[in-house]
Structure 1
């Protein structure tokens, strides 16, 4: 169960990748390395291809990155079909490669753990915090708020990046703690105001569709890994969070 919190203000829960941190160079490097370990004959470029950047807004969990890296090594891949019906293409790719999602996740985390063990500074350098994020997180306490991180990344890797940046959230929840909806339910049960900041519209839609989470304030950031049209026609229950709004006092957030 998530820990209890003592601050009287809201708990602002942030997604990690695409909200706090841009790690696109690391995502491709780790996904490519893991895919090549599973299928050494794949021909994959060292730098992330443009198609991977287009896919990133659709990718939800780390294991999907490894699978998509392998798909991008197929000559016959129809990238437009993949983008137009990602859930169906994901299922087809799993069947095509015959790799369980758990194996892909394990391979990805082994690659990352190995990189940290061999060259931690190099691994950290493949990430950057978005401009102003570190300063704003520090100032949240001045607004009477606490903050936490809720990510589909392995908690140990997000923790290492936060630690290197000198940032200390009240709590950190990785994919090991369950889905984001499940974690938010546990947090809301503690009876304090809960705000959730994401860059993935589908995740926010899942939160908004859950009647147990009706009181959670939701925000979609204007930066990060947004797909085409993600910021358009947002429901009134989802605030559009620009860098200017993010830097403003919490009372002025949309």
Structure 2
């Protein structure tokens, strides 16, 4: 096991702001399933979709949101996201698998047809590329752990000129399991993620209770996510991220 510490980063909402791509791909995938978001421009993200993004855990959920957007009651969805999601799936007769396949096919076609245009829908958060490129010079390697497929993530990382020590995508399994595997190979310096529930699950996992976790303040956060963080999970802002790792909160 190498002595160099490994810092693990989520991708969407931490390294890259993919909101434009989320909406474009989700709305196009909804059209594949004849769930056309009537009258909504695939190049203009609806405010309701933007507001609900922090509740999304898997890509397929965005396709359902896109299809529901013209009729969606934002207050009801933010109050009980799971119930509204289940009701919409049942009403449409859709499954998570079918929605995910439609999303993956949409992205594959977009990459194959006009790779540069699809990549252009993603923008790195300010300062993130420089910060990641500087980490090895501080004696810290970094890795990416994401629920996006490894292939799509690799395309995006390459377009940004970023080369992580390791990339684990959706195929690698749940994030806590991947972190446990990484921990057997490397000394983990911590995990940066923008989904509070994921960080809480990580910290509750046997063997990961001592892993330092940071919640990215610039990511897709619910209004309540910043409040009352449990021990071991700290909010980090861009200025703090830019500081040496030893000075992080």
**Structure 2: unaligned runs, 5 residues or longer:** none
Match of 2:154 in 1: 159
TM-superposed deviation, 1:88: 1.9
Match of 2:170 in 1: 175
The 1:25/1:196 distance shift into structure 2, 3 A limit, reads same
Aligned pair partner of 2:51 in 54, 65, 71: 54
Query: 1:188 touches 1:194 (CA, 8 Å); kept in 2?
Result: no
- Map of 1:32-51 to 2, 5 A cutoff? 32-39=27-34, 41-46=36-41, 47-51=44-48
| Aligned-pair Cα RMSD in Å | 1.4
The 1:237/1:79 distance shift into structure 2, 3 A limit, reads same
Task: Provide the secondary structure at the position in 2 that maps to 1:57.
Answer: helix
- Cα distance in 2, alignment partners of residues 182 and 82 from structure 1: 30
Aligned pair partner of 1:195 in 173, 190, 196: 190
Query: 1:196 touches 1:218 (CA, 8 Å); kept in 2?
Result: yes
Query: 2:5 touches 2:139 (CA, 8 Å); kept in 1?
Result: yes
User: Which 4+ runs in 1 deviate beyond 3 A?
Assistant: none
- Map of 1:233-244 to 2, 5 A cutoff? 233-244=228-239
1:121 aligns with 2:116: yes
**Structure 1: unaligned runs, 5 residues or longer:** none
Matched pairs, number: 247
1:224 aligns with 2:233: no
TM-superposed deviation, 1:224: 1.4
Aligned pair partner of 2:86 in 82, 88, 91: 91
